[in-house]
Amino acid sequence: MQKTMLQNYAKLLARTGLNVQKGQQVIICAEADRAEFAALAAEECYRAGAASVRMEWGFQPLRRLAAERESEETLSLVAPWEEEKLRGETHTLPARLYLESESPDGMAGIDEGKYARSMAARAGVLKPYKDKMENKYQWCIAAVAGREWAKKVYPKYPAAAAEEKLWLSILRCARAAEGSPVANWQEHNARLAARCAALNALGLCALEYEAGNGTRLRVGLLPGGLFLGGEEETLSGVKFNPNIPSEEVYTTPKRGEAEGVVYSSKPLSWRGQLIRGFSLRFAEGRVVEAHAASGEAALKRLIGMDEGAAYLGECALVPYDSPVNNTGTLFYNTLFDENACCHLALGSGFTNCVSGWERRSPEELHALGVNDSVVHADFMIGTDDLCITGIAEGGRRVPIFKDGGWAF
């Protein structure tokens, strides 16, 4: 891949994804074998005005070894230095760039129960620190072409060619392959903002989903709820893009108000394990039945992570005719596959989808119906025949999606 294209992509992540502020600290989380691009991203963060850039390295093969060899007690342990680090970050509020490149199959075959329980235990300890930082700092999730991931996505290509092809797909989906990526995103954010404004003007209280695969689902929405998309803003007024790519307009549903059944339209890669061909049935907002063609045990582990994991935390609207879907590629990566078509999420909801959220306590937001959980797992439900109807006050029905695309 041409270095100039990668530099432009790194600039996009620093300037538009994070929107690094002068004098701000930055943390970049990346796999150790992707150090070359991580260095480009760090350089662009410094150019944007970062006071310091710290790397937090991961390595999936080592995580797998730990999952296999360590006891559940050891895996669950949160070291004192980890808590102290997060405690400090609640004050310094560094911007965080997450560069995904792991193999979708990298954790397949491990003891799923042991791993899920240990991750839930860690998340429970770390969650209060993360809650304290919520909506106060910029963060961005983006992708880097990993060799094993590329081989999974393009199995018919030699390893080097597959990696090159995956890089090109990433850049195209991120609007970073042609022209000025930063300018491209200014235009894209404007379009998403206009779509959000139109939806927010409708005063919707529920969404009804229907598709030929059997999906029949009604989801209640929060009173005073907002549809958001693309660019977001911290409490201090700094704008950033949390996901690159992003095609979605999304909102937080009301906990306890989901009825019916929904079928997945793409596999879900969750913590290195693939879940395929699954369905979820909801009653009084909660998943009461779950089936999968493969990975059913992992699906049920996800739903059982904590009390809130069985409830919905997001409804996202993405046209089936999206740039990501039009690549014809199944990425086996939620960042991309969720932006290919409509999706829902199990677990925590977004507090900033409530009008006036900044003046409410977390307890007040949860009482309004914002779900709380240690997980947030997006799963894809969009099809070329998906229809979504919005229910407004008084029962007025408004077509939102027809045959997989916007109806207005």
Q: CATH number of the domain that 102 lies in?
A: 3.40.1830.10
Residue 235 lies in a domain: yes
Say whether both 332 and 214 belong to one domain: yes
- Average pLDDT of span 292-303: 94
Say whether both 310 and 382 belong to one domain: yes
Structure tokens at 278: 């699954």
Residue 94 lies in a domain: yes
Say whether both 246 and 386 belong to one domain: yes
Say whether both 211 and 153 belong to one domain: no
- pLDDT for position 113: 83
Residue 183 lies in a domain: no
- pLDDT for position 26: 98
Residue 188 lies in a domain: no
Rounded distance, CA 137 to CA 240, Å?
A: 9
Rounded distance, CA 15 to CA 21, Å?
A: 9
Residue 24 lies in a domain: yes
Predicted structure pTM score: 0.86
Say whether both 139 and 221 belong to one domain: no
Say whether both 164 and 284 belong to one domain: no
Among 124, 142, 173, residue at a domain's last position: 173
Residue 324 lies in a domain: yes
pLDDT confidence bin for 225, thresholds 50/70/90? very high
Say whether both 74 and 158 belong to one domain: yes
Domain assignment of residue 57, given as a range: 3-173
Say whether both 130 and 241 belong to one domain: no
Work out the angle at residue 185's Cα, subtended by the Cα atoms of residues 388 and 135, and round it to the nearest 5 degrees: 75
Say whether both 369 and 237 belong to one domain: yes
Say whether both 146 and 278 belong to one domain: no
Work out whether the CA dihedral 97, 372, 263, 292 comes out positive or negative: positive
pLDDT confidence bin for 114, thresholds 50/70/90? very high
Q: What confidence tens digit (pLDDT) does each residue in 125-173 have?
A: 998 998 899 889 999 999 999 999 999 999 999 999 999 999 999 999 9
Say whether both 155 and 261 belong to one domain: no
Say whether both 273 and 321 belong to one domain: yes
Select from 331, 212, 344, 332 the least CA-distant residue to 280: 344
Residue 337 lies in a domain: yes
Number of domains into which the chain is organized: 2
pLDDT confidence bin for 357, thresholds 50/70/90? confident
Share of the chain above pLDDT 90, in %: 86
Residue 184 lies in a domain: no
